[in-house]
């Protein structure tokens, strides 16, 4: 739509401007001002009215047509004011041909239309360019795919015909046609267009690939598991569309201001007409004042001020892996007082390993490790995987386990050789009301001091072993905490780990507030605690286990892989599993709101000064604005607002590096 309007305004601007040249050349006013003359010939007196009528019919009528819906909806606005201004100038100028008056508005009329067309062309071009995020995402998906048949041959089919379970061949340099899992082949896949991560990601059998990403030098055979509207790319497009269509509080304020301005303009025009009629009697000068007031009061710049910033903001966010579902939340991010991070997998790598072990007297380490591996045999939790891997490395064979049960937020339970065995953290001990033997207590304290998680093994009610699990702090986390502190934002950490582990990680990173040993169902209560202190709180989690906390927070931020883009509990989704994007989100929110404020101040404040000037308050000292000059000033304000919004593309979303900490992905510019 914007592209069609852009081409229409562009074409009509150039044609109307060309047709306006004769009108300008044969304008007595311009000849007098600029000190030039053109040859007269029989019929030359008709050049101005004839060409002005053509310009009005070709360049001005579109404004009249666009004003009709506003009038039908009883919501007059920008198009109504423009139409009123050019109509008054047109009718008065034609009347001056039949009833000679002191002046006609032909040159003012054509320049007014030309400038309006130019302003709308620039506006449509800016909005189209800023709104291209969805179109650019759509271009990522190929039109066809090479499907592998049952006999091993390939056939080219439209992507729309792919179904779940199809096996496709992705050749080097080709785009992945839909979401799936690699069954055969090794290659590096460029996922920058989806996740914002510029470094190609290595893919091998068992790895997931996202539709729309570009394969590297290797050949892949991919089993499709999502097509059409179920793909990651389709989910991203829906979120981008929602963000582009949503309105912020600032935009709603601008819409109301535009409505108020309409009535102010009409009132100012009426007062101007009455005042000038009383002062000089009703004549062409009165109409000229009224026309100038109506032209300069058009809420053109105000109508563009917020939507253009919103569109650029959405495009810039999408380019940097930030998908905005709630525009108001994006706006609120600039005011955050505190941000809570879930520890595991966000501030840390999320991959645990067994780095230490202690047993009570009479229990062999291999026996304890075998029991723990048996109980964790059916669990997919990262701690369970670490224990099983440790057992494999030690060559310990786990016995069979029965009646497995996952105890949410506490651990797991199963029966091994008839004994009831539990594996879990501190919350498990609280649940079982178990006492920790002194030798295991010392082991746990030492592990906590070294930022290690302790997992306990309980058999038939007796605590018999403890395992120290290491989870490496991410390099990015140091920079994130430092950058948020520079933005005067308090950083909090939420974890189910013990107090010792949580405090050790917090001390290492410089985190302000720690919530440890928190069960999943209690996470939202911790968000509420900070909110009860009068703080605006953001929550960063995986969008699944942290759903209640994300919903409770003022700004919920889901962080994870591209497959998590459909998380409904978050306001903003960070496609990459990169906490650095939280800082970029806050920076972009601040920069966008600043641009919105600047545009509103310029667009609305401009009218505060311009309307009285157009009405002729400075007429006693000889300063009067003609309709053309009024149109020029109004369009200039529109151009300035558009340029100011475009400057948002230059916002610096990078995060300074810290000594001895390697930088990560750089911020990406908007399209």
Q: How far apart are CA 60 and CA 71, in angstroms?
A: 17
φ, ψ of residue 308 to 5 degrees: the values are -70, -40
| 2: nearest Cα among 117, 131, 118 | 131
| 506: nearest Cα among 523, 490, 521 | 490
Residue pair 655/580 in contact (Cβ under 8 Å)? The answer is: yes
DSSP H or E run through 424: strand 419-424
In DSSP terms, 539 is beta-bridged to: 340, 556
Q: How far apart are CA 505 and CA 502, in angstroms?
A: 5
Q: Which of 114, 166, 179, 342 is catalytic?
A: 342
Q: How far apart are CA 163 and CA 7, in angstroms?
A: 39
Q: How far apart are CA 646 and CA 148, in angstroms?
A: 46
What is the DSSP pairing of strand 555-559 with strand 572-574? Answer: parallel
- Residue 299's SS3 state is coil
- Residue 310's SS3 state is helix
Which residue reads 């910033």 in tokens?
309
Residue pair 360/235 in contact (Cβ under 8 Å)? The answer is: no
Q: Is 594 exposed, middle or buried (0-12, 13-18, 19+ CB in 10 A)?
A: middle
In DSSP terms, 184 is beta-bridged to: 221
Residue pair 654/667 in contact (Cβ under 8 Å)? The answer is: yes
Residue pair 334/589 in contact (Cβ under 8 Å)? The answer is: yes
150 tagged catalytic: no
Which residue reads 């000064």 in tokens?
609
Q: How far apart are CA 464 and CA 436, in angstroms?
A: 9
Angle at the Cα of 380 from the Cα atoms of 377 and 382, rounded to 5 degrees: 105
The torsion region of residue 322 among left (phi > 0), alpha (psi -120 to 50) and beta comes to beta
DSSP letter for 104, please: -
- Residue 462's SS3 state is strand
Q: How far apart are CA 550 and CA 537, in angstroms?
A: 10
> What positions carry a catalytic annotation?
342
């Amino acid at each position: 739509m914007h592209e069609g309007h852009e081409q229409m305004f562009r074409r009509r601007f150039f044609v109307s401007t060309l047709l306006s040249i004769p009108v300008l050349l044969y304008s007595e006013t311009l000849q007098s001002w600029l000190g030039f003359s053109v040859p007269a010939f029989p019929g030359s007196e008709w050049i101005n009215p004839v060409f002005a009528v053509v310009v009005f019919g070709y360049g001005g009528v579109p404004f009249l047509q666009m004003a009709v819906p506003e009038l039908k909806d009883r919501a007059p606005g920008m198009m109504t004011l423009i139409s009123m201004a050019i109509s008054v100038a047109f009718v008065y100028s034609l009347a001056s041909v039949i009833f000679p008056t002191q002046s006609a508005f032909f040159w003012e009329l054509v320049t007014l239309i030309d400038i309006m067309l130019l302003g709308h062309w620039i506006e449509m071009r800016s909005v189209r360019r800023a709104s291209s995020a969805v179109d650019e995402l759509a271009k990522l998906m190929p039109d066809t795919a090479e499907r592998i048949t049952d006999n091993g041959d390939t056939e080219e089919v439209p992507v729309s015909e792919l179904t779940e379970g199809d096996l496709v061949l992705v050749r080097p340099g080709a785009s992945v046609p839909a979401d799936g899992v690699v069954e055969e082949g090794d290659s590096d896949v460029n996922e920058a267009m989806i996740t914002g991560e510029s470094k190609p990601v290595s893919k091998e059998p068992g790895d997931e690939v996202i539709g729309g990403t570009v394969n590297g030098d290797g050949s892949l055979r991919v089993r499709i598991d999502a097509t059409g509207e179920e793909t990651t790319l389709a989910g991203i497009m829906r979120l981008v569309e929602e963000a582009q269509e949503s309105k912020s509080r600032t935009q709603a304020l601008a819409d109301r201001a535009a409505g108020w301005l309409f009535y102010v303009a009409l009132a100012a025009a009426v007062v101007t007409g009455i005042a000038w009629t009383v002062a000089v009697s009703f004549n062409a000068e009165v109409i000229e004042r009224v026309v100038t007031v109506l032209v300069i009061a058009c809420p053109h710049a105000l109508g563009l001020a917020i939507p253009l910033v919103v569109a650029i903001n959405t495009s810039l966010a999408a380019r940097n892996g930030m998908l905005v579902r709630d525009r108001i939340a994006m706006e609120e991010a600039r005011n955050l007082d505190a941000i809570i991070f879930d520890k595991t997998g966000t501030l840390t790598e999320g991959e645990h390993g067994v780095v230490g072990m202690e047993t009570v007297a009479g229990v062999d380490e291999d026996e304890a490790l075998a029991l723990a591996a048996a109980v964790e045999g059916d669990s997919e939790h990262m701690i369970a995987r670490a224990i099983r891997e440790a057992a494999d490395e030690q060559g310990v064979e786990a016995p069979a386990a029965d009646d497995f049960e996952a105890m949410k937020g506490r651990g797991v339970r199963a029966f091994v050789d008839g004994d009831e065995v539990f594996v879990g953290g501190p919350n498990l001990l609280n649940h079982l009301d178990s006492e920790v033997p002194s030798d295991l207590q010392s082991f746990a304290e030492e592990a906590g001091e070294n930022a290690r998680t302790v997992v306990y093994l309980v058999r038939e009610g007796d605590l018999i072993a403890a395992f120290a699990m290491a989870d490496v702090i991410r390099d990015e986390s140091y920079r994130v905490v430092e950058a948020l502190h520079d933005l005067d934002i308090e950083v909090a950490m939420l974890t189910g780990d013990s107090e010792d582990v949580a405090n050790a990680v917090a001390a290492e990173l410089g985190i302000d507030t720690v919530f440890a040993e928190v069960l999943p169902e209690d996470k939202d209560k911790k968000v509420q605690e900070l909110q009860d202190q009068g703080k605006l709180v953001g929550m960063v989690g995986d969008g699944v286990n942290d759903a209640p906390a994300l919903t409770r927070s003022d700004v919920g931020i889901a962080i994870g892989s591209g497959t998590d883009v459909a998380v409904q509990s978050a306001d903003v989704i960070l496609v990459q599993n990169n906490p650095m994007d939280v800082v970029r989100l806050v920076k972009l929110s601040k920069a966008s709101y600043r641009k919105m404020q600047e545009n509103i101040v310029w667009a609305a404040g401009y009218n505060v000064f311009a309307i009285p000037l157009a009405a002729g308050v400075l007429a006693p000292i000889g300063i009067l604005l003609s309709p053309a000059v009024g149109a020029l000033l109004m369009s200039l304000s529109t151009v300035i607002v558009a340029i100011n919004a475009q400057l948002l593309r230059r916002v610096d979303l990078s995060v300074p590096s810290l000594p001895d900490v390697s930088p990560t992905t750089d911020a990406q510019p908007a399209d």
